[in-house]
Amino acid sequence: MIDTAEQSLDQRIDAIESGYEFMLAYAAQGRDTDKGATGAASELRDFLDAMDRALGELGERVRAQAGAQNAEAANRASEFLDAVDQDAKRAQGVIRLVMAQEKISSQLIDNVNASIHLRALLTDLFVLDEVLKG
């Protein structure tokens, strides 16, 4: 796996989006626990870990890339970039809370999927992806 410091912004966004998609599928399975899971369900903690790594310093990475691409636009969007940073930190907190649980149920993951913090971050990333594509 790529070290967090070396992950590009695109790789980070992909890890977060892939993790969210996986969590949607896991939530639909109706599991009481991830312990003893087989098949795709046994990968839940791997996806959560990848999301956690991708969220680390995400705000700083976004700001750096936006500034490198268009310093004036990044300056004008400072409040939005601040929000991305805060949304990433809050989403990471939720992911870390879940990872700390001995058992992870589908219901818990369903609630995480509905979390305003994760949804706000995903929306931020969709906007950023479009803007940074140019």
- Which tens digit of pLDDT belongs to each residue from 21-70? 999 999 999 999 998 877 777 899 999 999 999 999 999 999 999 999 98
Range of the domain at 79: 9-133
Check: CB of residue 68 under 8 Å from CB of residue 108.
no
Cα–Cα distance for residue pair 96/65, rounded to 1 Å: 26
* pTM assigned to the model: 0.89
Q: Report if residue 1 sits inside a domain.
A: no
Averaged pLDDT of the chain: 91
| Proportion of the chain above pLDDT 70, given as a percent | 93
Q: Report if residue 3 sits inside a domain.
A: no
Cα–Cα distance for residue pair 118/107, rounded to 1 Å: 16
For residue 44, what are the contacts with CB-CB under 8 A and spacing of at least 6? 22, 23, 26, 34, 37, 104, 109
* CATH code, 102: 1.20.120
Residue holding tokens 């809050």?
90
pLDDT of amino acid 132: 79
pLDDT of amino acid 60: 94
Counting the structural domains of the chain, the total is 1
